[in-house]
Amino acid sequence: MIATKTISRRDFLKLAGASAGGLAAMAALGHGFKTLSASEARQQQEAGKRVVYTACVMCPAECGLAVEVENGVISNIYGNIHVPYNSGTVCAKGVSGLQLVYNVNRIKYPMIRVGERGEGKFKRVSWEEALDYIATKLIEIKQKYGAESVIMDCGDVTDRDPYYYLFRAFGTPHTVEHGSICDTPRRHGPKLMFGGKRIEPDIMRPVLVRQPDGSLKNDYSYRTRLIIYVGWNPFTATRINYESRGTVEAKLAGARIIVIDPAFSNTATKADRWIPIRPGTDADLFAAMLRYILENHRDDDPFRRYIDWSFKEYSQGWEEFEAAFRSWWDRKDPLNGLPYFSLEWAAERTGIDAQTIAELAHTFGITKPAALVWGMNGIGHHYNGYTASILGTALNVITGNMEVPGGAIDTELVKSSKGGKASGGDFLKREVTRIVNGREVKGKIEELHMDGYGDWPAAWDDVVGDYPRRFIEGVTLRYGPFRGHRYPIKAYFIRTGNPVITGSNTQKWIEALTAKDETGNYKVELVVYIDTVFLETGLYADVVLPEASYMERMSLSDIYPVHPVLYLRDFVIRPMYESKTQYEICWALARKLHEKGDPDIQPKDFWEKYPTEEDFWNEALRVAPGRPNTGEPLPYPNLPKGYKLLGTPDSLEAGRVQIDDEKKEIRGEPLTVQWLREHHGVAVWPMSWKRFHGGGVLQTDSKKVEFVWDYTVEKDGQVQRKGRYAKYNKLIEEAGETPPSIARLGWQKYPSTFYWFETRWNPYTNPDYAKYREEYPFQVISGRIHHAMSGTQMVDWLGRLPTEDLWMPLNDERVVEEVILGENGPTPTGRRVRIPRGTWSIGVIQMNRADGERLGLKTGDLVELETPQGFKTRGKVVLVETIRPGVLRLPFGGGGRFSPGLGKTWAFQDITPNHNALVDPENLSPIMGQPAYGDVIVKVRKLG
C-alpha cells in the first residue's frame, strides 16, 4: 500500500515561499522559507504530530530538517532552526522530497536481471535470493582473482560508512565515492598546501562564538568586503547552502560580489560585476593576478599593500614557490608570443581585457577581508584545474585572507570529524599475500589499490573516470610491494550513483559494462545497483537492491560548515516496501558471506560488535569533533590550547573532561545518537578564527601552509622526506617508472613546488588544438540544474521548474505510454499519457543569440553537436544574451537522471542533450584522473 500525500503545486510553491521563477531565487531569500520554531514544534507534538529532526538529501547540501509526521506518514518538511548551516531554511526542492519518498517509481524489491545488460528486464526475488546470489559470486571472484577485483562505488550521496566498512573488511582497497569524478582539480591546491579541500567565504551565519565575558553567543555579523566567485554558482549548485543566503546578507552588509563565469548564472544576477571569461582559462587569470600583485605590491603604500607578510609566520617554502613562478615570466607563449602571466598574455587567452584583469588583481589585493572562491563546474572540470586551484589558494594566503573573520575558510579542516573506526580504515592495513611473477609477496591490502599503486599514484580520491578501461583491460600495479601484480575487475557495486551518465564518456561506460570475453560472459561478472530510485546505470545491473530513502535511515551530516557542526539523519518513518537501510543491507550481506565461509567477515567485527544500527553510528560519532582547541577567540579558554577536543559540546563546556597530556587530547562525554536526539538532532561547537597559527588545524607534515610538496628535514640526525607529493615520488623513484599521466607532461615525478601545464581541447590556449578553431568554433561547458545527485526527475513538482535557461519547458506535445517501476523492472502500464507542449522542463543547449542568428537558428530548434572525435549529442537551443559568444552550456548530468520508470523526462530522451556523450574518455586530468568535462569543442548542425 502506497501512502499518499496530496498538495497542489500552488500550495507547494507557497509553502516554499517562492514563485515558479526557479529554485535559485528561492534559495537566495532565506527568510522566504518556512521554519518551524521550537515552540511550534512543541505545539505540533502536543497536537499528536511527531517532529523528527533529520537531514535532507534532495541535494548534497544536506540541510538540517524538522519533519512533521502524522500517523506514520510525513505531513510536512521544515528546516531545522537549530542547525546553523541552513539556519531553519528549507528550499522548494527540499519540500518536494515528499514526492520522492512516496513515489510509485521507487525501487521496491530486490530484482535479478533476466535479459541482457541494458535491456532493463528483471524479475523480483527475495532478499535471501539476492544476497545469496551476490555472496556466492563475491566469494568465487575473491578465490579466483583476489578481493581487489571488487569495486564498491558508494556514489553520489552521503551515508556511506557501512559500505566502506563491509567492503574493506571483505578485503578490497576499492571503496570509492563520487568525489573523484566531481571536482578533484578544484580541491587540489587546498589539499597540497593545507591538507584541506574546499575554500569557502566566511559567510555561514550564525556562528557560535566565545565572548569576552566567557559566555557563548550566536554571531550574525557579516564582515566580508569582497567575494570573487570563479566558475562557481552556489545559487543553483547548492552543496554549500549558506552561500546563497550568506552572499545576499554579506552584500546587504556592504560586500562587493564579483562573478567570473562564461555564463550569467543565478549567482551573477546577485553580483556587482559579471566577467564572462573564456572557458578553461581560470588558471591564466589567477596567474596574471598573482604576477600583478607581486610586481605592484608596495609595503610603504597603503593603496598598493596587497601582501600581508604575516602569512610567512605559518607557512613554508614561499621563496621556492615564488622563484618557480617568476621563472616563467621571461618565457614567451608559443601561441601568442607574449610573456607568460603578463596582463596582455592573460587578456589574449581569457578574453578579459588587460585593464579589467589589473583592476581585479588590485581590488582583490587591496580589499580585506576578501575571499577568492572557485567551483566544480569551472576549475574542477578542466584538465589543468590543478594549476588554477594552487594559484587561487596562494592568492588567498599571501593577501592574508585565510582564516580571518570575513575572509576565506577551508571547511574541510574545521568541520567535525566523523566516521573513525566505523569507516573500516583499519581493515586496509591487514597483510595479504599474492603471487607476483611466480614470487610470493606480502603487503597491505591498501597497497593493492589500482590507482595509488597503479597508473595514478597521487589520485588520493581514486580515478572513476578510468574505470571503463580497467573493466576491459584489467589492472597492472606499477608501484609498491605488489609491483607487477595483474588483476581483472570482476565485480562493480554502484550505490546511489549513475556513472553511465556522469562518470566521463557515456558510450565508454556502456561498452565496458556490456563487454564480453571470448566465452561470451560479461567481463565484469557481477554488477550490483543499490538505490532508492532507478537510474540509467541500473539498466546494466545483474542485481538491483532497494535502499531505504533518506527519510527511512540513519547517519550523520557535516556538510562544509565553517566550524564543527554535526547533525543526525534519523528514522522519520520506517523503510517502505522491502527497502533496507545501509546498515541492514551490509550486515545481511556480511552474515551471508560469513555463512558461506568467507574468512575475512567475522561476527566480532559485525553483529557482535555493532548489534544495532545505533551502535554503529555511535562508533562513527566517537571521534567528534576531533579538532584542536585553537584560534581566536579560543573555543574553550579553560581547557588546554592546541589539544584535540572530543565529546559533546555540553561536557566540554562544563569541563566534564579527562585530559591526556601524552596524546594531547581533551575527552568529554562521547557524542551519541541519543545525545543528538535530545538536542534537536545537532551538536554545535564554538567557532574561532586564525586557526592556522601555531599549527592549529593544518593537516600538513610541517603543520604550516606548505608551498613546497616534496622536501627534506633533519630529525634526530636522520633525513626525512616530507610534503604531500613526497610519498608518491618515493614510489616512483623506487620503481624507476614515471606514471603515464604525468609522463605526458614531460615530468619524471611530481614537482616539488609551483608548476604549469596547459589544458587540452582548448584552441585558444594550447597550440596543439589551434587547428580546430575554424571547424569546431564552440567550447562546451556545463551548468548545474535543480535535478542533481538524487534522481529528482521523478518528482513531478520539480519536473516543471526551469533552471537558468538550461532546463526549460520546451517539450513538444507527445502522447506516451506510461512506464512505472514494477516487480520486473521498468514496466509499461498500457495507459497513454498526453504531455502538452511547453509543460515539462527538459535539458537544453544555451547559446549566445548572435551565434545562433549567424547559424540561422531560433530558440527551440533542434541541433546536433559533434566533437572532432565524432562524439555527438542533440538537443534544443535556447538563444540568450547571457552567455559569452562561442560558448555553449549544457545541463550537467541533466541527461543522466534517466531511466524508464522515472517519469515524464524519459519520454524526451531523444532531445535531451547529454554533456558526457561529448567528453573525450582519454582526457583525464593528469594528477588525479578527473574527467575533463569542461574541455570540449564542437561544431553545430541544425536538424530537421
Note the residues at the interface with ligand SF4 (CB under 6 A): 56, 58-59, 61-63, 86, 90-91, 93-94, 238, 241
Closest separation between CB of residue 86 and ligand SF4, Å? 6
Nearer to ligand SF4, 94 or 843 (CB): 94
In this structure, the dihedral spanned by the alpha carbons of residues 545, 494, 615 and 461, taken in order and rounded to 10 degrees, is 180
- Report, in Å, the least distance between residue 843 CB and ligand SF4: 19
Minimum distance from residue 573 beta carbon to ligand SF4 (Å): 17
Q: Rounded to the nearest whole angstrom, what is the least distance from the CB of residue 365 to ligand SF4 in the complex?
A: 34
Cβ proximity to ligand SF4: between 91 and 576 the closer is 91
Query: How many residues would you count in the chain?
Result: 944
803 with 891: CB under 8 angstroms?
Answer: yes
Please tell me the distance from the alpha carbon of residue 83 to that of residue 558, in angstroms, as a whole number. 10
Beta carbon of residue 942, minimum distance to ligand SF4 (angstroms, whole number):
37
Give 62 or 570: the residue with its C-beta nearer to ligand SF4. Answer: 62
> Which residue type occupies 193?
M
Q: How far are the Cα atoms of 18, 98, 905 from residue 95, in angstroms, in the given order?
A: 12, 7, 20
Q: Report the nearest approach of ligand SF4 to the CB of residue 190 (Å).
A: 23
Q: Which is nearer to ligand SF4, 236 or 387 (CB)?
A: 236
Does residue 704 sit in helix, strand or coil? coil
Which is nearer to ligand SF4, 56 or 887 (by Cβ)?
56
As measured in angstroms, the least distance from the Cβ of 559 to ligand SF4 is 8
Beta carbons within 10 angstroms of residue 830's beta carbon: 7
Residue whose CB is less far from ligand SF4, 34 or 273: 34
Of 59 and 491, the one with the shorter C-beta distance to ligand SF4 is 59
Choice between 86 and 618, CB closer to ligand SF4: 86
| Amino acid identity, position 284 | D
Minimal distance, residue 58 CB to ligand SF4, in Å: 4
Nearest-angstrom CA–CA distance, 44 and 364: 49
The DSSP line for 255-278 is -EEEEE-SB--HHHHTSSEEE-PP
Given a contact cutoff of 8 angstroms between Cβ atoms, the answer to whether 666 and 629 are in contact is yes
Q: CB-wise, 93 or 349, nearer to ligand SF4? A: 93
What is the rounded CA–CA span in Å between residue 411 and residue 388? 19
For residue 786, the minimal CB distance to ligand SF4 (Å) is 8
What DSSP letter does each residue of 505-569 carry, written as one string? -HHHHHHHHH-B-TTSSBSS-EEEEEESB--GGGGG-SEEEEBPPTTS--EEE--S-SS-EEEEE
Sign of the CA dihedral with 743 first, then 747, 752, and 757 last: negative
Beta carbons of 80 and 88 less than 8 angstroms apart:
yes
Question: Which burial class, exposed, middle or buried, applies to 47 when counting CB atoms under 10 A from its CB (0-12, 13-18, 19+)?
Answer: exposed
CB 320 within 8 A of CB 708: yes
Number of helices followed by number of strands (H, E) in the chain? 28, 44
Contact 911, 862 (CB under 8 A): yes
Kindly tell me which of 58 and 361 has the beta carbon lying closer to ligand SF4: 58
User: Nearer to ligand SF4 by C-beta: 30 or 400?
Assistant: 30
Cα–Cα dist 814/802, whole Å: 19
Cα separation, 495 vs 166, whole angstroms:
14
Cell of 729: 615520488
Q: Which is nearer to ligand SF4, 148 or 552 (CB)?
A: 552
CB of 101 to ligand SF4, least distance (A): 13
Residue 319 to residues 106, 188, 312, 326, 703, Cα–Cα distance (Å): 57, 21, 10, 10, 18
Amino acid in position 25: A
- Cβ atoms of 93 and 23 closer than 8 Å: yes
Bridge partners of 150, per DSSP, are 491
Q: How far is the CB of 94 from ligand SF4 (least distance, A)?
A: 3
Query: From the CB of 64, what's the least distance to ligand SF4, in Å?
Result: 9
The CB-of-910 to ligand SF4 minimum distance in angstroms stands at: 29
As measured in angstroms, the least distance from the Cβ of 616 to ligand SF4 is 24
Could you tell me the smallest distance in angstroms from the CB atom of residue 860 to ligand SF4?
30
List, in sequence order, every beta strand (DSSP E) within 687-802. Answer: 705-706, 711-715, 718-722, 778-783
Answer for the pair 754, 773: CB distance below 8 angstroms, yes or no: no
List the beta bridge partners of residue 864.
874, 941
Closer CB to ligand SF4, residue 110 or residue 893?
Answer: 893
| Pairing between β-strand 64-70 and β-strand 50-55 as defined by DSSP bridges | antiparallel
CB of 242 to ligand SF4, least distance (A): 10
- For ligand SF4, the closer CB: 244 or 417: 244
CB of 20 to ligand SF4, least distance (A): 17
> Is the link from the previous residue into 369 a cis peptide, with omega within 30 of 0?
yes
Judged by beta carbon, residue 91 or residue 360, the one nearer ligand SF4 is 91
Note whether 727 and 449 are within 8 A (CB). Answer: no
For residue 301, give the 3-state DSSP assignment. Answer: coil
Whichever of 238 and 579 has its CB closer to ligand SF4, that residue is 238
Closest CB to ligand SF4 among 225 and 786? Answer: 786
Place of cell 603578463: 342
Taking the C-alpha atoms of residue 451 and residue 731, their distance in angstroms, rounded to an integer, is 13
| Shortest-Cβ-distance residue relative to ligand SF4 | 94
> Least distance from C-beta 95 to ligand SF4, angstroms?
8
User: What are the percentages of helix, strand and coil residues in the chain, rounded to 5?
Assistant: 35, 20, 45
Q: Check: CB of residue 210 under 8 Å from CB of residue 634.
A: yes
Which of 99/350 has CB closer to ligand SF4?
99
Please name the helix (run of DSSP H) or strand (run of DSSP E) that holds residue 69, with its range, or none: strand 64-70
